[in-house]
Amino acid sequence: MPYIPHTPEEIREMLDVVGLPDIDALFAEIPASLRPKSFDLPKGATEMAVRIAMERLAAKNRIDMVSFLGGGYYDHYVPAASDMLLSRGEFYTAYTPYQPEASQGTLQAIFEYQTAVTRLLDMECSNAGVYDGGTALYEALMMAVRHTRRKKAVVSETVSPIYRIVLATYTKNLHLDLVVVPHKNGLDDFEALSAAIDAETAAVVVQNPNFFGNVQDFTELFATAKAKGAVSIMSCYPVLQTVLKTPGAMGADIATAEGQSLGLPLSFGGPYLGIMTCQKPMIRQMPGRIAGRTKDGQGRTGYVLTLQAREQHIRRQKATSNICSNQALCALRALINLCLTGNEGLTRQAARSIENANYAAWKLCSIPGVSLLNEAPFGNEFAAVFPVNAKQVARTLMDDGIVPGFPLGRYYQGLENALLICCTEKHDRADIDRLARRLEKAL
Amino acid sequence: MQKDLLYSKTHEWVRIEDEIAMVGITDFAQEQLGDITYVELPAVGDTVEAGREMGSVESVKAASELYSPVSGEVIEVNDELEGAPEKVNTDPYGEGWLIRVRLSDEPTGLLSPEEYEELAKAEH
């Protein structure tokens, strides 16, 4: 079966109609210097040959390891029905649902997704999703900048370093002032954060649980921000929102999240899902698509893209963002997972993950020389401090089939001996006991 | 068509009383836009400049820029429009007013009611 839609004859015929000599002439607008010299692709091969080559490559991956890696991306269980439902052709092929009369299914799916994540985070509105948690956080910051017409952002150093790099990259040429408030032993420095919010501040940006796994209450900080006219933005971990105080309950104006933990495979880092929710007064600043439910002329329920005047197909230069694709399939996957797992299931997932992490922390701290970075409560992730370099320890254990966690020294100076260790419901006591035994041996 | 007003080519109207100008959009403009869902206005204390953008009007399927017909400082904004933007449709010269401006310059280049009527006819 040919996968290329046009024969050379058909291409010739089309070129004749528009009066061009060859395909290259279609790209005459692009100067030669900007065109790729070659795509560096090997010659075509048969399906079988490609498959065998890919399988050989895949076999080089080590998939037999026990991993305690978290850092914002979590290996939660995904119900088997998830793949089955997601692979329906209607969902796979759907693109932008600009024509509601022909896209009711896709629009309803987006609407239901928005409803689900809004409830999970205790917020009032959601968009259809953006690329990932980092992008969502940047877009949230831009919402605050537009809303307040201010140019400064106060960001806690406990926000994921990966997200902070995304913020710095995206805002590089935007004349924004990003003020990073240093962490105190893995915890947010509330005093310094409050003091940094002034009359120029568009937003205060925090994360819960923070990058070190610690759980904190930002209610008071958000009240301070409000009093000073700044927007409160929180990045959070969706699964844990079933058992923690939610961004909505703390008074966040915008809450974002990496949606990967809601049933998306880790898959080498993507594609993931950026969840964006906000309270109603900020909805006009929300980028991307928003699906709404309404009634048609005959009183029948229908789903539409709403508030479209924010979007770039209505007014390009004034659009709230130039994101015009959303992670529709990833958002749908999150929705399917939320529906299959349910409130109770998600709560159990969170509770079990937290239980495992607490057991691991207790187990590891009984090893001489190992302690926790701080005494604050944590969720399913915690930072442990070793008497030696954590990266070296991780290397040693990896040779032994265990990925013990994320060495914090990569992003935090002075924490070269600290390792971020995460548990989900997929770990069992035996995994954790093995980690403790191997670690004791390695120290 | 209101006889006591001046108009701009971009379909705003102006009512001037002692250095204070009240600004809105014309009946013709609201009709062209259709159901208005949102009005974005400058803030009190902002400076507006004649012919420069000062905000936007969103209707169900489009967004249009608003241009200030006069120069000066915004002293009042019609906050009612936040909750009830449809007032611009139902009463563009009354309850649907947009902003009040303390003039910094004598307005120039505005159209008389007759001139504006000609313009609206031509654009229809």
Give the model's pLDDT for residue A326.
60
Tell me which residue has tokens 């139902």. Answer: B90
Residue A97 binned pLDDT confidence (cut-offs 50, 70, 90): confident
Burial of B18 per CB tally in 10 Å (0-12, 13-18, 19+)? exposed
Chain B CA closest to residue A307: B60
Q: Are B56 and B66 in contact (CB under 8 A)?
A: yes
Cβ contacts of B40 on chain A, cutoff 8 Å = 284
Task: Write out the two tokens for A404.
Answer: 């013990």
Contacts of B65 in chain A (CB under 8 A): 318
pLDDT score of B87 more than 90: yes
A314:B59 CB<8 A? no
Q: What is the structure's pLDDT at A4?
A: 74
Highest average pLDDT, of A145-149, A391-395, B3-7, comes from A391-395
Q: Which residue of A has its CA nearest to B46?
A: A149
Contacts of B38 in chain A (CB under 8 A): 284, 309
Taking CA–CA distances from A98, the nearest residue in chain B reads B61
Q: Name the phi and psi angles at A309, rounded to 5.
A: -65, -15
Residue A443 confidence (pLDDT) above 70: yes
Residues A291 and A111: beta-carbon distance below 8 Å: yes
Q: Give the model's pLDDT for residue A131.
A: 92
Contact B120, B26 (CB under 8 A): yes
Q: How many beta carbons lie within 10 A of that of residue A248, not counting itself?
A: 20
* Contact residues, chain A, for B66 at CB < 8 Å: none
User: For B37, which residue in chain A has the nearest alpha carbon?
Assistant: A307
Q: Which of A150, A308, A316, A320 to mutate to test the interface with B (most CBs of B within 10 A)?
A: A308
Least confident among A144-148, A314-318, A367-371: A314-318
B36 to chain A: closest CA residue: A309
Residues of B in Cβ contact (< 8 Å) with A308? 61
A316, pLDDT greater than 70:
no
Cβ(A262)–Cβ(A239) below 8 Å: yes
Q: Could you report the per-residue pLDDT of B18-41, keeping only the tens digit for each?
A: 899 999 999 999 999 999 999 999
* pLDDT at A91 (0 to 100): 82
Is A314's CB within 8 Å of B37's CB?
A: no
CB A311, CB A320: distance < 8 Å: yes
- Contacts of A166-170 with C-beta under 8 Å, sequence gap 24+, read A166/A134, A166/A135, A166/A137, A166/A138, A167/A134, A167/A137, A167/A138, A167/A141, A167/A205, A170/A138
Does the structure show a pLDDT above 90 at B95? Answer: yes
Peptide bond preceding A42: is omega within 30 degrees of 0, i.e. cis?
no
Neighbour count for residue B12 (Cβ, 10 Å): 22
Q: Give A39's Cβ-side CA count (13 Å radius).
A: 3
Nearest CB to A315: which of B38, B59, B63? B63
Residue A325, pLDDT > 70, answer no
User: pLDDT by residue (tens digit) across A329-351?
Assistant: 999 999 999 999 999 999 999 99
Rg (CA), chain B: 13
Q: Measured between alpha carbons, how far is residue B11 from residues A371, A399, B32, B61, B111 in Å? A: 71, 73, 10, 19, 10
Quote the minimal CA–CA distance from B24 to chain A in Å.
21
Q: What is the rounded distance in angstroms from the CA atom of residue A256 to the CA atom of residue A278?
A: 8
Do the chains contact at B61 and A315, CB–CB below 8 Å? no
Tell me whether residues B56 and A314 touch, CB distance under 8 A: no
Contact A439, A369 (CB under 8 A): no
How close, in Å, is residue A199 to chain B by CA atoms? Answer: 16
